[in-house]
A and B are shown apart, each in its own frame.
Chain A
């Protein structure tokens, strides 16, 4: 019968093309909806402004508070878009099409993680470099702050994607995602905020940054696979 008919002329896995196409699509979508880009930035700006007002505007206090406040504020702001990572894809039905394409879902999830980092963490990192000045952190600390936040923010995106994948189809999953992700972020916060504090007193900090890099690489390896598996299970 038809068993010898070619099913389709291109049956091959194209993980790199899939990754590129998905990354491009996610970036395009993010820029078509600028409010999603700007909201976390406003949130971040408000949190870092409230701390000096509530605690103390004294320079000595600010210098001590600075690294921790900036780190926590970036993490909280970066949590905001996680709910929409798969939520919209699920609602409009595109997620089914991604899964049914037969192409590597791992590549698609990896692309989504990278896109999330580019559009939600990177702007926060840039703004935090400015905020660091108002917290009177020495300018020599800014590169450390930027590096540690970039690495830590990446780990947050990767872990957050797993949580978002697990909660596909759950109504109002934001709180659940935060509960899943924040405990896992504790090592990242410890090493990240510590690296910045150490840099402020000009101590050696390579250990802390190495740990952040190691965590980022580890989450890069496992998070896309775990996310893809979580999405598949959630769609059932």
Chain B
């Protein structure tokens, strides 16, 4: 039997009283890109939060290498990179202070690696600027920098392309491709169709459910 690193078993996701997703099974193998598609309010973010372990599913299990993620919080936490709607930056700290704080909590990032990532994202010149003084797109890039430097096999990205210009999108798409090519896994939510060269993207699509 092949073991998938990430497996969702019979997941039910609900928000408040509303059931958004019922009985979802999903296996993600190395190199997989899973695109969550659906209208606003269908529960894409809720599902990503469930996969990240931020909220428990209504029922069902999220398995990481065959074990429930609840029992291996630290191991799983260090295996995922999380990008949500909010960039997760402190407005009063500089870009570099924001990004190096993760060093204490996660894997240590070398200065060279940090520089390379910031140059790739085009925000190297903003490294000493307060995060509050950055534009929405630059904050988005900073949040992406954290994902790119994380060295985590599983990326969970909520709308990774919003607020980005054409070059930013192209860079992020190329990073998604190289992460998948290196055997990483990506689950992301996006409204637009995403085409990545030489890489198959699995679409997981569902509608807003009407039942209570």
Q: Which residues of A contact B (CB under 8 A)?
A: 1-3, 5, 7-14, 17-18, 20-22, 25, 28-29, 32-33, 91-94, 96-103, 235-236
Contact A3 B65 (CB under 8 A): yes
Contact A93 B86 (CB under 8 A): yes
Measured between alpha carbons, how far is A179 from B84 in the docked complex, in Å?
Answer: 33
Q: Which of B50-58, B118-126, B193-201 contacts A (4 or more CB under 8 A)?
A: B50-58
**Shortest CB–CB separation between residue A90 and chain B, in angstroms?**
9
Measured between alpha carbons, how far is A184 from B30 in the docked complex, in Å?
Answer: 52
Contact A93 B87 (CB under 8 A): yes
With beta carbons under 8 angstroms apart, the residue of A1, A9, A28, A94 that contacts B2 is: A1
With beta carbons under 8 angstroms apart, the residue of A9, A18, A235 that contacts B104 is: A18
Interface residues of B, dominant DSSP: loop
Contact B108 A18 (CB under 8 A): no
In the complex, chain B residues whose CB is within 8 Å of the CB of A21:
101, 104-105
B68 at interface (Cβ–Cβ under 8 A)?
A: no
Given A8-B151, A32-B92, A94-B89, A102 and B84 touching (CB < 8 A)? no
28 contacts between A and B (CB under 8 A): A3-B5, A7-B75, A7-B153, A10-B78, A11-B74, A11-B75, A18-B105, A20-B104, A25-B90, A25-B101, A29-B90, A92-B88, A92-B89, A94-B89, A97-B88, A97-B105, A97-B146, A100-B53, A100-B54, A100-B82, A102-B73, A102-B74, A102-B75, A102-B76, A102-B78, A103-B77, A235-B54, A236-B54
Tell me the count of chain B residues lying within 8 A, CB to CB, of chain A. Answer: 45
In the complex, chain B residues whose CB is within 8 Å of the CB of A10:
78, 107-108
In the complex, chain A residues whose CB is within 8 Å of the CB of B152:
8
Which B residues, 78 to 127, have Cβ-Cβ distances below 8 Å to chain A? 78-80, 82, 84-93, 97, 101-102, 104-108
In the complex, chain A residues whose CB is within 8 Å of the CB of B102:
97, 101
Q: Which residues of B contact A (CB under 8 A)?
A: 2-5, 29-30, 52-56, 65-66, 73-80, 82, 84-93, 97, 101-102, 104-108, 146, 151-153, 183
With beta carbons under 8 angstroms apart, the residue of A2, A11, A17, A92 that contacts B153 is: A2
Measured between alpha carbons, how far is A18 from B106 in the docked complex, in Å?
Answer: 10
Contact A13 B53 (CB under 8 A): no
Measured between alpha carbons, how far is A227 from B53 in the docked complex, in Å?
Answer: 19
Measured between alpha carbons, how far is A2 from B27 in the docked complex, in Å?
Answer: 14
Given A8-B78, A8-B151, A92 and B105 touching (CB < 8 A)? no
Measured between alpha carbons, how far is A22 from B101 in the docked complex, in Å?
Answer: 9
Measured between alpha carbons, how far is A102 from B64 in the docked complex, in Å?
Answer: 15
Contact B78 A7 (CB under 8 A): yes
In the complex, chain A residues whose CB is within 8 Å of the CB of B80:
100
In the complex, chain A residues whose CB is within 8 Å of the CB of B79:
7-8
